[in-house]
Structure 1
């Protein structure tokens, strides 16, 4: 039995040990989460057995447990396109994205120098300026990143060392969308991001926005580091005060999100 098979068997065994007693003790609650999970996964561009297994039995479990909140966010928002162009966003959202991208490009050399000082041979780094609207204690000072934006809640720089990639994974919440901007796109098919069955090559467009609760993977398969502006922006919605309150609540447990969803990253100040 190979490693992947053993891992799969272990997943199913744990699922049975947990779900069978819960079905007996709280059957309606279990059925509620199963229905929410089924509705949540149905919205993916393409559902595969591997994706479904990881959603319900692997690294997608936190996203599954948050699916009732995410489905409610869907009801209170404009239709989710999955992946976005800048022109798909309202004018106020676009203005904030453009301001941060401009500052990122203008301060690219400063950011690279700071990362080079501390990252070393570690595989991935995250230089954080703001995390769920909470300003971080940081050495690099960029005034545009210190502003109190209405919609942008997280501002960071994601760095992949050479020949590095993430596993396929799911983000936690659909209260926000992920915004990425590649500082120095390399003319190579080896630097890209997969979202479900869609592939975005950075050489074609340095800006990419998407619903990060979709199944995704980032790849930097070249002999050069990849620097991306990394932001979370409030998704366009019909009840902004509700989203503001929900995001404020998420900010309280944002440190836990870091531990669970970014355990393979080195955080830089």
Structure 2
């Protein structure tokens, strides 16, 4: 089916669904149209593709969650869309610095472990912690209890692999990305709205992933990016953390929808060094 026919088909289905909505539940339909328009207009890029993907494509879950996301905006500090590290409050900053310093110090070890379990494939997600649920691993620094950081992983793209433009579903957290081995080329970047961020200029990127974005690796080599979710800066971190924990019960289903093109990789525990006179035991 050609692109134009696909769009016409989507519009026809949407028109029927909208007509049925206004006939059977007019106030609910109008409410979600209004919250969706408010939500999608947050994007700095406002062309046809942005609206088509939000209302007719991979942004539909974000649209359906728009009332909740707009409520979270009211409970949080002003949403900058894209953040600098200095924009984070001191307690948030301490945790981010700690994890990023650990990745910098143990980069070769972590990348080597990833390559062992991800010999081939388009996209991989090497997961230490996912929405608070921890996989067995050997990075002791990541086993501390974090108050704000909920996900610690590494996103791996094979050479010449990219995502399409898409929206994240929930605004409880911010996405933190850090390129472990930036190559001096404009072929590797993340694009959020109408701005491209080139990793060789700055390896760290913090943003609201409910804005339309895509990750691109047009270079013929693997790209490794630290992938973290951190609770949004808010006067109510306990409440947002609680809501994240509630969402975590649905994580397996969410993964199936939003990471269907990814291979989820789990670290393989290695034996701890044996103490004198004792046999080694596997780490947790």
TM-score range, shorter chain: over 0.9
Q: In the alignment, does 2:158 pair up with 1:165?
A: no
* Structure 1 residue 46: Cα displacement: 2.4
Say which SS state the counterpart of residue 192 (structure 1) adopts.
strand
Q: What's the C-alpha RMSD, in Å, of the aligned pairs?
A: 1.2
If the length of structure 1 is used for normalisation, what is the TM-score?
Answer: 0.95
CA–CA distance in structure 1, aligned partners of residues 48 and 231 of structure 2: 31
Which of 147, 162, 175 is equivalent to 2:144? 147
1:1-269 pair list within 5 angstroms? 3-136=2-135, 138=136, 140-269=137-266
CA distance in 1, matches of 2:142, 2:22: 48
Cα offset, 1:72, TM superposition: 0.4
CA distance in 1, matches of 2:195, 2:249: 33
Alpha-carbon distance in 1 for matches of 2:51, 2:5: 18
SS of residue matched to 2:165: coil
Alignment length (residue pairs): 266
Report the alpha carbon displacement of residue 106 of structure 1 after superposing the two structures with TM: 2.0
Runs of 4+ in 1 over 4 A off after TM superposition: none
> For residues 145 and 36 of structure 1, what CA distance do their matches in structure 2 show?
38
Give CA deviations for 1:35-85 in whole Å, capped at 9, x if unaligned. 110110111122111101110000000010111111001111111111011
**Displacement of 1:103 after TM fit?**
1.2
Give, in whole Å, the separation in 2 of the partners of 1:74 and 1:107: 36
Q: Which runs of 5 or more residues in structure 2 are unaligned?
A: 267-284
* Secondary structure of the structure 1 residue equivalent to 2:127: strand
Aligned residue for 1:39, secondary structure, equals: helix
Where in structure 1 are there 5+ consecutive unaligned residues? none
Q: Is the 1:129–1:146 contact (alpha carbons within 8 Å) kept by the matching residues of 2? A: no
Comparing 53-62 with 127-136, which one deviates more in the overlay?
A: 127-136
Q: Is the 8 A contact 2:155 2:226 kept in 1?
A: yes
Instruction: Tell me the SS of whatever aligns to 2:240.
Output: helix
TM-score computed with the length of structure 2 as normaliser: 0.91
